[in-house]
Structure 1
Amino acid sequence: ISPPPHHDIYSIEDLAELIYDLKNANRSANINVKLVSEAGVGTIAAGVAKGGAQVILVSGYDGGTGAAPRTSIKHAGLPWELGIAETHQTLIMNGLRTRVRIESDSKLLSGRDVAISCMLGAEEFGFGTTLLMAEGCVMMRVCNLDTCPMGICTQNPELRKNFKGKPEYIINYLTFVAEELREYMAKLGVRTVDELVGRTDLLRVKPAAPGSRAAELDLDCILHNPAIANSNVHFIKEDSYDFHLENTLDMKVLMKKFKLGSKAPQSVSLNVSNVDRAFGAIFGSEITRKYGNDLPDDVYTVHCNGAGGQSFGAFIPNGLTLELVGDCNDYMGKGLSGGKIVVRPPQGIDFKPEENIITGNVALYGATSGKAFISGVAGERFCVRNSGATAVVEGVGDHGCEYMTGGTVVVLGQTGKNFAAGMTGGIAYVLDENWDFYQRVNKETVSLEPVEHKYDVATLKELIRAHVEATGSPRGKEILDNFSAFLPKFKKVLPYDYDRMLRVIASVEERGLDGEQAQIEAFYAVQKHK
């Protein structure tokens, strides 16, 4: 079902923050927000435009991938014609239309479809199903099952041999679409797409048979809005949203003080406040652009004091380390991509870090790699959708490790309710001093085990040692000094499917395969026995 759920969006303000984060991660990209054609989509689009999006995509009910439920494809959503018209008109009435481009998609098949979409208000057009069919898709609707017989939507090397598509097929198809669009534009006396945008005066309603259901349709609200004098309004580059990225600490400090051309260890100290959102994302994107993920740890270290803003350390890559003395807002380490984040309270405090919140909700959401050491308690949904990062924290709120698919998490304190809901991969080690953790864990997909295997014991001890070294955590020191006494109180949270896959991978590796090939073989072995 599209759009998918985003666990960092619960309001239009959250969406604006995500748009800002993404713009920091790639300053040259146009941020595209996809909406579904439905009643009221214009109001949502106005909020999206105010949030800084540069393209608003309105998708109709008629598209959908083969992975989408058939009931959703057949019975959910509205035609793109209604969504495009409402979005275009609402943005004009709110003085926002020149800020953004409107894109339409969902079963656009011909130049005529493109022309109608443009006259209703769109200026960009997306094609999906038709392009797949040009590449050989036969619409088996098994895109999510890894069994595509044409070799298009599969990772199976044998099935991929069936793929017969060529880029020229798509070029040929889209050339015909463009030629047909030009023919319609010539008949209408229009030279450019911009001149055609919003020209509903060029559309005519087909006459319908008297007494038919079609004759009862009133399309006047789509074609003629009395509140709009001129609907031929389109995107103007000069009116696009200005994020003022030149005023960020990344641009004013990090980009100037660090020598990006040198791989020698460097450090910078500065003060941060909660208005410094997505700190580190711009500099991290420049590191990735120059070095990819090849840098070792701690090449560029930033010592921060104060309050980290939302999305502190979002998307940072290998080689960049952020050390924060203070506290942090929501989304810390969102999309962490190999970097390291350390958060600890100031020296000389008179409270226990393990009993106080130090970072907000949704920390390390969608992290793929990297490390985080947090001397204090994190808020709700810690490590949601984590797929490869390693984190040590001294307590979490509700829904910790939700939907986690990889990585390792160590919790040196209490958790909230619903821990590990939907967790299908990775491992969590949780300190259960009161022997009541079983009441707060969601047992649907995971098992609880004592930490007994020598590998688990060594991993847990090493992560706590690294945590103490990075943060100076009193709680971590206490556990390390009495490790043999605390070890029986730790619980290992292990997803059933992940455990089974690890065992199969180990048996495959015994036969001589290693790395990715062993994982592929194990995957198909597990699929056969389902």
Structure 2
Amino acid sequence: ADKIIISGGDGGTGAAPLTSIKFAGNPWELGLSEAHNALKVNNLRGLVHVQTDGGLKTGQDIVKAALLGAESYAFGTGALTIIGCKMLRICHVNKCSVGIATQNEKLRSEYFNGTVEQLINYFTYLAEDVRKIMAQLGYKTMEEMIGRSDLLRVVDTEFAKKFDFSSVLHREEGFDTCQSPSNEPFDANEFEKEVLAEAMDAIKNPERPIKIVRDICNLNRSFGARISGEIAQYYGDSGLKANTIKINLKGIAGQALGAFLINGVSIRLEGVANDYIGKGMHGGKIVIRSQNQGEAFSAGGNTCLYGATGGKLYIAGSVGERFAVRNSGAMAVVEGTGDNACEYMTGGVVVILGKTGINFGAGMTGGFAFVYDEDHSFVENVNRELVDALRIDTDDGDEARHYLKRLLKDYVAETESEKAQILLDNFRVEIRNFWLVRPKNLTKLPLNPDKGD
């Protein structure tokens, strides 16, 4: 890592319920002290920049963070409050009454009154507060204070005496700040540079499509992002025609396979991938399969399709937690997920051919999902605050059934999934085991099976 960020439990999104804001997570002080000292013990602190955040508001907060080992400090809640945020905890429903957490142009133009000057004033006063404390301690620069946990004292109260702060205030010997601004990564993305060099002819001459075959390993992270960026430079967001660049990979892909993928690029992986598959994906297609397929085998990690806006993802296996979180346009078929699937989803289509874990559809305000529920346990896992779970084996479900069947046929063609093929062979019976999950205010399903090719 070039930078390690320690986030505490006191900040966080205004979309979280009050119980999550008040009773979730740990203080950043604990994580920061432990991370800082662990890096020093292993002679790594000089290579890594350490940052912290989590409810930082005053100069005293910043100085304490510096003394515990942080070199930089992030602000969310405080800065938002300065420009008008009222912490209404409705950030996920696009109805922010002060025009901050919304894409509604009317709300933004009529109600947002924040200015750059307000933020400048806040951070100026914050810096002056820090300087005042530094002067009291006798320091001229922040760098001199970083890691000086020996300057901290426990307050002299009966309540404080109940706790042992020795681990938090412990100071290891070694560098307290990052000494090397250029921590060279293991891979330096040479792998994708080689693939991009081979693909450049097809990018410049789309009438000449190309197929590229490579082995991949888990050091090769964010594969597809560099190629997509090059395509976007030439053609913008629209990208290329479907399958202009076909990339067949074999092995274990690193994190963020297909991140920010664009139309025209098709990635097929024979193997498995790590977290964040298809992060920010805009188009194209990602297909993952292996000789071990089905719900019992994990083929993808956590937080896949984070913030995706388009494209297709087919995985012949299970994935981890927070699948399709903040998905706003991608289409996906997988054979099982962990907890919190479709969290904060605002668009797109998700098909899950197996178990999902708890808290399905929390904060989901758009898009829809089909979930196969053979043992009739799914309903207990749905967060019903914003979504409904409906059966589609009724007269009203004709359009949804036909749409699901087309998706499954496409999925089988791409992955040769045995599970999906069995469902298709017995579709008239198995359709009774499917749920359609959609936002309560979604009256008509946006059925478009070809989106994302």
Above 0.5 in TM-score?
Answer: yes
**Gap regions ≥5 residues in structure 1:** 1-51, 346-350, 431-435, 507-530
TM-superposed deviation, 1:295: 1.4
Identify if the C-alpha distance between structure 1 residues 400 and 277 changes in structure 2 by more than 3 Å, giving closer, same or farther: farther
**1:95 match:** 43
Aligned residue number for residue 422 of structure 1: 360
Q: How far apart are 1:275 and its partner, in Å?
A: 4.9
Q: Distance in 1 between matches of 2:312 and 2:115?
A: 42
The corresponding residue for 2:283 is 338
Q: CA deviation at 1:167?
A: 0.7
1:72 offset after TM fit, Å? 4.9
User: Considering only CA atoms, is the larger Rg found in Structure 1 or Structure 2?
Assistant: 1
- Tell me which moved more, 493-502 or 167-176: 493-502
Q: Indicate conservation of the 8 Å contact 2:277/2:305, yes or no.
A: yes
Residues 191/365 of structure 1: CA separation in 2 closer, same or farther (3 Å cut) = same
Matching residue within 81, 86, 96 for 2:34: 86
Tell me what 2:443 maps to.
Answer: 502
Assess, with a 3 A threshold, how the Cα gap between structure 1 residues 151 and 307 changes in structure 2: closer, same or farther: closer
Q: How many residues align?
A: 426
Task: Report the alpha carbon displacement of residue 155 of structure 1 after superposing the two structures with TM.
Answer: 5.3
The two structures have a TM-score, normalised by structure 2, of: 0.72
Residue 176 of structure 2 aligns with which residue? 233
Residue among 38, 59, 66 paired with 1:111 = 59
Structure 2: gaps (5+ residues): 383-387, 448-453
- CA distance in 1 between counterparts of 2:47 and 2:124 reads 29
Quote the offset at 1:133 in angstroms.
3.1
CA offset digits 1:38-71 (Å, max 9, x no partner): xxxxxxxxxxxxxx2513224264x455444445
Among candidates 190, 199, 209, match of residue 139 of structure 2 = 190
Match of 1:389 among 330, 334, 340: 330
Mapping of residues 360-439 of structure 1, within 5 Å: 360-362=299-301, 365-366=305-306, 367-372=308-313, 377-379=316-318, 384-385=323-324, 387=327, 388-391=329-332, 396-397=335-336, 402-403=341-342, 405=345, 406-408=347-349, 415-417=353-355, 422-423=360-361, 425-428=367-370, 437=374, 439=376
Q: Equivalents in 2 of 1:60, 1:392: separation in Å?
A: 33
Cα distance in structure 1, aligned partners of 2:22 and 2:289: 52
Look up the match of 2:215: 272
Tell me how far apart the structure 1 counterparts of residues 333 and 445 of structure 2 sit (CA, whole Å).
28
Seq. identity, %: 28
In the other structure, the counterpart of 2:128 is: 179
1:318 matches 2:318: no
User: What displacement does 1:410 show?
Assistant: 6.1
Which piece of structure 1 moves more, 131-140 or 380-389?
380-389
Q: Measure, in 1, the Cα distance between the counterparts of 2:371 and 2:120.
A: 52
Paired residue type of 2:139: V
**Preserved CA contact (<8 Å) 1:150 1:159:** yes
2:200 matched residue in structure 1: 258
- The Cα of 1:340 is off from its aligned counterpart by 1.2
Deviation of the 1:77 alpha carbon: 5.3
Q: Does structure 1 residue 447 correspond to structure 2 residue 390?
A: yes
**1:257 & 1:428 partners in 2: Cα distance?**
36
> 1:304 deviation in Å?
1.9
Q: CA offsets, 1:52-110, max 9 Å, x none?
A: 2513224264x455444445555555554444333323322222212222223344333
Which segment is superposed worse, 468-477 or 456-465? 468-477
SS in 2 for 1:132: helix
1:403 is matched by which residue type in structure 2? C
Distance 1:82 1:470, change over 3 A: closer
Quote the RMSD (CA, aligned, Å).
Answer: 4.7
Amino acid at match of 1:502: T
* Cα 1:410–1:143 shift into 2, 3 Å: closer
Shift of 1:169: 0.8
Higher RCO (CA 8 Å, separation ≥ 6 residues): 2
